[in-house]
Structure 1
Amino acid sequence: MVGLRPSDVPPTPAVKFIGAGTAACIADLFTFPLDTAKVRLQIQGESAGSGAVNAIRYKGVFGTITTIVKTEGPRSLYNGLVAGLQRQMSFASIRIGLYDTVKLFYTNGKEKAGIGSRILAGCTTGALAVTVAQPTDVVKVRFQAQITLQGVKKRYNGTMDAYKTIAREEGMRGLWKGTFPNVTRNAIVNCTELVTYDLIKESLLQYKLLTDNLPCHFVSAFGAGFCTTVIASPVDVVKTRYMNSPPGLYKSAINCAWTMVTKEGPTAFYKGFVPSFLRLGSWNVVMFVSYEQLKRAMMMSRQKVEYAT
């Protein structure tokens, strides 16, 4: 057995909720530079920005990371990390931590769930998570898109300043800007990610290709990350562009998508695909592996406390 042994008692909803948020934060710490590179590539081509900003061109994921380090310093790769961790604790806890509970609700308590029940559960927890965590996502994206150069004015001086500035200048609606494309994206991401992970893991165990340990979790998470990137990338690009845009640049998320098609062509929807896959694939691997181990560790600790008392 590679990793901790599965608990004899199924993990409680609270354990899943806390474990998912914590595992997502761990994954963000490892993959945040890739996410920043993805955002920069996705917004490249927008007309907004000063001459100095528009002069910077990014090519490929590692080229983008190298350019950011050379022009802005390595710390810029982690712009928006605080908001990112806030987002994961509120976002992943709901969309991943409550997935099994909602799935049981749709199956009336039956352990064996069909594809329809899994998809409904993924849509439900994904949409609910976005509703709660949208302001943190807006701030994270804007920090990642912010160019840190001498002579270029910063949009925000800190995480709390960003929340206050957006609320003051754009109203509370500004903090929930891009909710529609984000709900759409996360319904797609959540369904593809969790359902694919579920199905791959079940198949590996059913056909005894692997046992319920780290290699199984790794393979399942990698497959889920690739499938999710292919399906969700177009919506992700629109979401990033729209959330980062200054007031008035796009009338709506649909207008943003239409502008991209007419000015940059359909391939614009897959800008940043490689960093998206590298980020989402690696994020899935770190998150799901950490999540499975955290659930087992917390249940072991809980059982030891109960036994001691």
Structure 2
Amino acid sequence: MAGRGTVDLAPSAAVKVFSAGTAGCMADLVTFPLDTAKVRLQIQGESKPSVGVQRARFRGVFGTIYTMVKTEGARSLYSGLVAGLQRQMSFASVRIGLYDTIKQVYSRGSENVGIGTRLLAGCTTGAMAVVLAQPTDVVKVRFQAQGRLPEGGSAKRYSGTIDAYRTIARVEGVRGLWKGVFPNITRNAIVNCSELVTYDIIKELILQHKLMTDNMPCHFTAGFAAGFCTTIVASPVDVVKTRFMNSVPGQYSGAMNCALTMLIKEGPTAFYKGFVPSFLRLGSWNIVMFMSYEQIKRAVVRFQQTC
């Protein structure tokens, strides 16, 4: 990305892939409770109308976290963390780590990269990452959502991460592990473009106008802006993705049917359920991820120079 002047050696694609995956894991460790609260709020209301109590079970991001800790224990906030970390190592490393490389391929090495090229690069790496990491995303969402399932006396869906992969493949087929891949590709193409292109452009403008140096305050500002823009753009697709991936077989015929069902039964506001935790999560995730990414990348480059 823009502004590499503080290091003598430009980081290679392998360094960026490693740094992005590691930074994604660090960001997940910090923000995972917010992500879990977001998932709970997004799936709230998809039950049958007769089960009225569940509609008001969670109220707001901090109310959701409080309720979960009180009724399910603090560990419930990190349900699905293993799959989440697996997802980031395979997902963030591709969509973020390869962004600069794909951008240079599309621009044919030109220094003047237009916004269209940046958007195309973001869509490309976002789609590549989803195809690779979709099973980890499905398992993560299922774990984050399953805490509310035992209320009727039934057992939890999965006993562990490996059991989740095996059960989904056995019960729903291998295709079940890629459930929701198309809405997820759409969602992550949007997210990737919003995050990376916004971060890329804002960081570049800050450095061009010498408002800040290429250091943590600059990375913090650009990361915060990227998280805010991403939340506004991606929330509707994110809610549909979460609902569809968490649904039982046969509940929805497809992602479009899921979206239409939400619109008819719950109205347009359903597409922005969990908006506040989404923003808190995406904003903080982007800040932690981009700041970590830049610092890890530089540390690895310095290590290479020392060696």
TM-score bracket for the superposition, by shorter chain length: over 0.9
1:109, distance to aligned residue in structure 2 (A): 1.0
1:6, distance to aligned residue in structure 2 (A): 2.7
1:97, distance to aligned residue in structure 2 (A): 0.1
Q: Aligned in 2, Cα 1:70/1:146: closer, same or farther, shift over 3 Å?
A: same
Rounded Cα–Cα distance in structure 1 between residues aligned with 2:154 and 2:112? 56
Q: Residue 254 of structure 2 aligns to which amino acid in structure 1?
A: S
Q: Residue 295 of structure 1 aligns to which amino acid in structure 2?
A: K
1:298, distance to aligned residue in structure 2 (A): 0.2
Alpha carbons 2:90, 2:133 under 8 Å: kept:
yes
Rounded Cα–Cα distance in structure 1 between residues aligned with 2:103 and 2:94? 13
Residue 57 of structure 1 corresponds to which residue in structure 2? 57
Rounded Cα–Cα distance in structure 2 between residues aligned with 1:56 and 1:39? 15
Pick one of 299, 302, 306 that aligns with 2:301: 299
Aligned-residue CA RMSD (Å):
1.8
How many residues are matched?
Answer: 302
Residue 87 of structure 1 corresponds to which residue in structure 2? 87
Rounded Cα–Cα distance in structure 2 between residues aligned with 1:50 and 1:182? 30
1:111, distance to aligned residue in structure 2 (A): 2.5
Rounded Cα–Cα distance in structure 2 between residues aligned with 1:8 and 1:97? 19
Alpha carbons 1:5, 1:296 under 8 Å: kept:
no
Give 1:144-155 correspondences, 5 Å limit: 144-147=144-147, 151-155=153-157
| Alignment pair present for 1:100 and 2:100 | yes
Alpha carbons 1:53, 1:147 under 8 Å: kept:
no
* TM-score between both structures, scaled by the size of structure 1: 0.95
Alpha carbons 1:130, 1:182 under 8 Å: kept:
yes
Residue 236 of structure 2 corresponds to which residue in structure 1? 234
Q: Which moved more, 1:6-15 or 1:91-100?
A: 6-15
| Alignment pair present for 1:69 and 2:69 | yes
Q: Aligned in 2, Cα 1:279/1:184: closer, same or farther, shift over 3 Å?
A: same
Q: Residue 179 of structure 1 aligns to which amino acid in structure 2?
A: V
| Equivalent position SS for 1:27 | helix
Residue 25 of structure 1 corresponds to which residue in structure 2? 25
Alpha carbons 1:92, 1:129 under 8 Å: kept:
yes
Residue 246 of structure 2 corresponds to which residue in structure 1? 244
Residue 47 of structure 1 corresponds to which residue in structure 2? 47
Rounded Cα–Cα distance in structure 2 between residues aligned with 1:50 and 1:293? 52
Q: Which moved more, 1:267-276 or 1:205-214?
A: 205-214
Q: Residue 130 of structure 1 aligns to which amino acid in structure 2?
A: V
Residue 177 of structure 2 corresponds to which residue in structure 1? 175
Q: Residue 165 of structure 2 aligns to which amino acid in structure 1?
A: Y
Residue 15 of structure 1 corresponds to which residue in structure 2? 15
* TM-score between both structures, scaled by the size of structure 2: 0.95
Rounded Cα–Cα distance in structure 2 between residues aligned with 1:53 and 1:178? 28
1:55, distance to aligned residue in structure 2 (A): 7.3
Q: Residue 289 of structure 2 aligns to which amino acid in structure 1?
A: M
Residue by residue, what CA displacement relative to the aligned partner does 1:233-265 show, whole Å, maximum 9, x if unpaired?
000000000000001111100000000000000
Percent identical pairs in the alignment equals: 72
- What residue ranges of structure 2 are gaps of 5+ in the alignment? none
Residue 221 of structure 2 corresponds to which residue in structure 1? 219
| Equivalent position SS for 2:147 | coil
Rounded Cα–Cα distance in structure 2 between residues aligned with 1:236 and 1:244? 12
1:48, distance to aligned residue in structure 2 (A): 6.1
1:43, distance to aligned residue in structure 2 (A): 0.1
Rounded Cα–Cα distance in structure 2 between residues aligned with 1:116 and 1:303? 35
Residue 201 of structure 1 corresponds to which residue in structure 2? 203
Residue 121 of structure 1 corresponds to which residue in structure 2? 121
Residue 6 of structure 2 corresponds to which residue in structure 1? 6
Rounded Cα–Cα distance in structure 2 between residues aligned with 1:147 and 1:140? 12
Rounded Cα–Cα distance in structure 2 between residues aligned with 1:253 and 1:145? 18
Alpha carbons 1:239, 1:253 under 8 Å: kept:
yes
Residue 143 of structure 1 corresponds to which residue in structure 2? 143
1:275, distance to aligned residue in structure 2 (A): 0.1
Q: Aligned in 2, Cα 1:286/1:50: closer, same or farther, shift over 3 Å?
A: farther
1:54, distance to aligned residue in structure 2 (A): 3.1
1:7, distance to aligned residue in structure 2 (A): 1.4
Rounded Cα–Cα distance in structure 1 between residues aligned with 2:270 and 2:240? 9
Rounded Cα–Cα distance in structure 2 between residues aligned with 1:41 and 1:54? 11
Alpha carbons 2:45, 2:55 under 8 Å: kept:
no
Residue by residue, what CA displacement relative to the aligned partner does 1:52-94 show, whole Å, maximum 9, x if unpaired?
9837610000000000000000000000000000000000000
Q: Residue 246 of structure 1 aligns to which amino acid in structure 2?
A: V
Rounded Cα–Cα distance in structure 2 between residues aligned with 1:13 and 1:95? 12
